[in-house]
Amino acid sequence: MLAIIITMKLENEDELDNFIICHKCYTLNEEFPIQDGSHACCPECGNILYRYDSKLITHALALSITGLIFFILANLFPLVQMDILGNEQFITIPKTIFSLLDSGFYIVGLLCAFLVFIFPLMIFVINIVLFTLLTIKRGERLTKELLILLSYVTPWSMADIFFISILVAIVKLVAFGEIHIGIAFWALMAFVVIDVYITKSIKLSEIWMLRKKILLDGDKQ
């Protein structure tokens, strides 16, 4: 409600960029420049509104590259190797998706392909391009489009849920035969940890703010 009132008073939409909404109590606060390494709190509820950490971009870039390497490893090698009644089989992520499609489960196969392969891969590639551009202080328009795309894709990445479902499957299959955990399992676990860490610790609003400081305000960190 407050946001609507203030929006009406604003002459143009760009002025809204100077305001930030508290996600806890929904109070609209004006954004002030803060010192590097500090954070601003909501005057109503004390919730952290935004932080400014110039090293965030470098850390995020390093994490994204590491995550992508683990993702590639997770897809190249077997997740688990099963020996059930003398029948040895190994499972990889691409093999799981293709098996679903080959068996006629097209919707499940496509969903699986998008949720555990295409979207997670997209997020890490977008992150790498985005953080590289911000590091070299280039791409004002492209970074904006990448951030918008990221906000659409991020909720659909479900590599963590896929990992938990593999864990459940392993626990169930142990009763039927011998299970050997492959290198891709550990790579996927490392990828999920990095993915969750990036999603939880680096908020999109913070990247927007850093983008504004780096590219638009000409802050040379």
Q: Three-state DSSP class for 211?
A: helix
Chain residues binding Zn ion by CB under 5 A are 22, 24-25, 27, 42, 44-45, 47
* 179 contacts 79 by C-beta, under 8 angstroms: no
Q: In the complex, what is the shortest distance from the CB of residue 23 to Zn ion, in angstroms, rounded to a whole number?
A: 8
Q: In the complex, what is the shortest distance from the CB of residue 155 to Zn ion, in angstroms, rounded to a whole number?
A: 23
Amino acid at 136: I
Q: In the complex, what is the shortest distance from the CB of residue 42 to Zn ion, in angstroms, rounded to a whole number?
A: 3
Residue 28 or 122: which CB sits closer to Zn ion? 28
HEC string for 159-190: HHHHHHHHHHHHHHHCCCCEEEECHHHHHHHH
Residue 2 or 164: which CB sits closer to Zn ion? 2
Place of tokens 């709190």: 41
Residue 24 or 39: which CB sits closer to Zn ion? 24
Q: In the complex, what is the shortest distance from the CB of residue 58 to Zn ion, in angstroms, rounded to a whole number?
A: 30
Q: Which helix (H) or strand (E) holds 106?
A: helix 106-113
Measuring CA to CA, how many Å separate 1 from each of 41, 100, 217?
21, 48, 30
Residue 49 or 57: which CB sits closer to Zn ion? 49
